[in-house]
Structure 1
Amino acid sequence: MYLSKKVVNMQPSQTLAAAAKAKELKDQGVEVLDLTLGEPDFTTPKAIEEAAIASIKNGSASFYTPATGLVNLKQAIINRTKLDYGLVYQMDEVLVGTGAKFVLYSLFQALLNPSDEVLVPEPYWVSYVAQIELAEAKAVVVKTKLENQYKVTVDELNQQLSRKTKALVLNTPTNPTGSVYTRQELESIGEWAVKNNIYLIADDIYAKLVYNGNVFTSIASISKEIKEQSIVINGVSKAYSMTGWRIGYVLGNQKLIQQMAKIVSQSTSNPAAVSQYAAIEALNGSQADVEIMRQAFEERLNQTYPLLSQLPGVKIEKPAGAFYFFPDISECLSICGYEDVSEWVSDLLIEEHVAVVSGRAFGTDHHIRLSYATDIETLTEAIDRIGNFIDRKRNLK
């Protein structure tokens, strides 16, 4: 059988693979502490659930909607974006898709040609590179530094800039590091993009999850010129604890949105209608539950960061947003007698029943990612077990 080369050569999502491995052990009766997936442990707020139920009962959820989303949902997105970030968009500059991941996929398919290059700061979310390659373009990885909290600089971007560079993917708060770019940092990057005519793909999915006085700034809000270069990706999954509802959206140039609409119309068609009615309530309704969840994540971060940072051989900057730790464990690997981070991660799961994700999923060979989107008891026990694992391996070396 002759299969598509671009799919055969593509790696599956390593975060989902890690979660599947943890589930396999759980199904065997093993008590696994799973810190793999970026998924809030809260259920969807009641008002959102009730709006979804109402749409089922009144029949609204029974039928197709426009492929790019309900008009009322687009208006809710426009209103929320203006209220939160001061950004003004028109109806034909919004597209709703089946999750932010698929929206990104559709964007890359609509934007990129085989000769194009996209700059991707490392560490990066697992699917950026794969989706760029599926569009037959080239992902150009830009190295960043721990001492700068893994935030990319203009100097680092210039080192990888070429005549083929078409776009830059910029995620803030960042998965996997939790870094948050300041307004000044974004202004510098935005002006660089305008000067070089580079599209800014702003992945703002964690925008509402910032902690300890840090502030999220949308790069598109800095100036008219930067907004014209920006394509903003967002959704309801993280902030509203709606990962299973699969609603993401994009805001940007009308001509680009029009091309993305073609892809959506020939692939998924509309997102599930019931999910769209739920998302309308999420965006239009009270934001009190969002703040309650944000405060819970902040408390978990503040309680567990000191525990993690004190583990032997672990180097980490305190995250400012999202809900991940991304420690550099290069020294830890050495003192434990490992050369391969994935082997370390595998043995941690087998021996201590703690599931984390290898840094290789995010482009690095000496990190792990731990999600703190779970209860504090699980987090503290998991860190204790990691400490036990390190001590045992260090003594055996």
Structure 2
Amino acid sequence: MTSAPRISRRISSISESATLKVDAKAKALRAQGRPVISFAAGEPDFVTPASIVEAAQRAVRDPRNYRYTPAAGLPELREAIAAKTLRDSGMTVAPSQVVVTNGGKQAVYQAFATLLDPGDEVLVPAPYWTTYPEAIALAGGVPVEVFAGADQEYLVTVDQLEAARTERTKVLLFVSPSNPTGSVYPAEQVAEIARWADENGLWVIADEIYQNLTYDGVRAVSIAEAVPALADRTILVNGVAKTYAMTGWRVGWMTGPADAMAAAANLQSHLSSNVSNISQRAAIEALTGPQDEAEAMRQAFDRRRRTIVAELNTIPGVRTPTPRGAFYVYPDVSGLLDREWGGVVPRTSLELADLILDELEVATVPGEAFGPSGYLRLSYALGDDDLLEGVRRLQRFFG
């Protein structure tokens, strides 16, 4: 008798999240008493603002929140998200065109699952967040990588996208500000890409989770705002995790055309039903309440950004473009490869990251997690003292 595999091929083919894997290893080493400094996790080190926590405390005592609620989200939260979408993304959507999800990650998965049929291709600008290719593959799609290096400040061009487009291309993934690079597309480049997508009849899935974390007076222009005609084929993904230090609360959302959102809501009704009502009530406060603590966090990230870029660029062989958003730097470390460091000759950024963790007790994520080798991602969403000490260790070792 032929025995079937215990685990489905579809699930077995999924790669483990590299960022979570590195962060887990760093935490395990710290638990053993080692003084590991981790630049791995994309998670603010701040606490959730007090007014949001107080809203959740009130919600815990309210019996309305003890029961199932609409799978697509509480009406009040969907209204608040629609208002934010108009305010920050320049796209008018009705509350019925909003689906509240268990974090932005679920929204990413559902967006691809809603649009893709087997064999449909998705253009994925690289470097990219590790989850995108896996979510595309789970939906039966084919991720097509379009790479832009440090010389382009990690921003792909229309010419590159056009060269990668085929008759099977259905979706363009657009992320600005970017994880892992922190790059923000200038308004004119957003408009150029949006016009190209519109002319070619493509759908766009735009991940705007870092939309409100920008610096140097830069604004992250939404692709649907740049070319309003594209709104009928655009799904926006967002959430409260990064701006409000609410990663553990698990509230994200997706907005888009009515038919796509109805389909996504139908999927969610079978997949997970409603997001925790307590978290949804907290998210309402995040979007509609005071913004002063969120702004203070943004300013702290800005300060850390300027510090880490300046300090990394003192290391010979390291080239770090200045990010304009999110809370990551993505240095080109190809100048450190194929050289001996402490008796080791790293050939790839994966080997380099292992060396840095083993020898310096500093956790970084190698470029292989996000695309080609030769890069490291460092999150500066950690305390100022740890940030400086971690970079000092790199400077002493590679200086």
TM-score interval, smaller chain:
over 0.9
Query: What is the CA-CA distance between 1:115 and the residue it aligns to?
Result: 1.9
The question of whether the paired residues in 2 share the 8 Å contact of 1:348 and 1:389 is answered with no
The question of whether the paired residues in 1 share the 8 Å contact of 2:205 and 2:235 is answered with yes
Q: After superposition, where does 1:29-108 map in structure 2 within 5 Å?
A: 29-108=33-112
Q: How many residues align?
A: 391
Aligned to 1:370: 378
Q: After superposition, where does 1:137-286 map in structure 2 within 5 Å?
A: 137-286=141-290
**Structure 2 residue corresponding to 1:342, chosen from 350, 361, 370:** 350
Distance in 2 between residues matched to 1:257 and 1:325, nearest whole Å: 34
TM value normalised by structure 1:
0.96
For each residue in 1:27-49, what CA deviation from the matched residue of structure 2 results, as whole angstroms up to 9, or x when unmatched? 11111101101000110000000
Determine whether 1:355 maps to 2:363: yes
Determine whether 1:7 maps to 2:11: yes
TM value normalised by structure 2:
0.96
Q: Which moved more, 1:98-107 or 1:326-335?
A: 326-335
For each residue in 1:15-68, what CA deviation from the matched residue of structure 2 results, as whole angstroms up to 9, or x when unmatched? 000011111111111111011010001100000000000011122332211111
The question of whether the paired residues in 1 share the 8 Å contact of 2:90 and 2:224 is answered with no
Identity, % of aligned pairs?
Answer: 40
Query: What is the CA-CA distance between 1:224 and the residue it aligns to?
Result: 2.4
Q: CA RMSD in A?
A: 1.1
Distance in 2 between residues matched to 1:180 and 1:297, nearest whole Å: 15
Aligned to 1:381: 389
Moved over 6 A (4+): none
Query: What is the CA-CA distance between 1:352 and the residue it aligns to?
Result: 1.1
| Paired AA for residue 144 in structure 1 | A
Aligned to 2:315: 311
For each residue in 1:294-329, what CA deviation from the matched residue of structure 2 results, as whole angstroms up to 9, or x when unmatched? 111001111221101111210121111100011010
Aligned to 1:127: 131
Distance in 1 between residues matched to 2:173 and 2:313, nearest whole Å: 29
Distance in 2 between residues matched to 1:298 and 1:206, nearest whole Å: 13
SS at 2:338 equivalent:
helix
The question of whether the paired residues in 2 share the 8 Å contact of 1:117 and 1:139 is answered with yes
| Paired AA for residue 363 in structure 1 | G
| Paired AA for residue 298 in structure 1 | D
Long gaps (5+) in structure 1:
392-397
The question of whether the paired residues in 2 share the 8 Å contact of 1:120 and 1:139 is answered with yes
Distance in 2 between residues matched to 1:83 and 1:222, nearest whole Å: 14
The question of whether the paired residues in 1 share the 8 Å contact of 2:349 and 2:373 is answered with yes
For each residue in 1:261-312, what CA deviation from the matched residue of structure 2 results, as whole angstroms up to 9, or x when unmatched? 1221111111111000000000111111111111110011112211011112
Query: What is the CA-CA distance between 1:384 and the residue it aligns to?
Result: 0.8
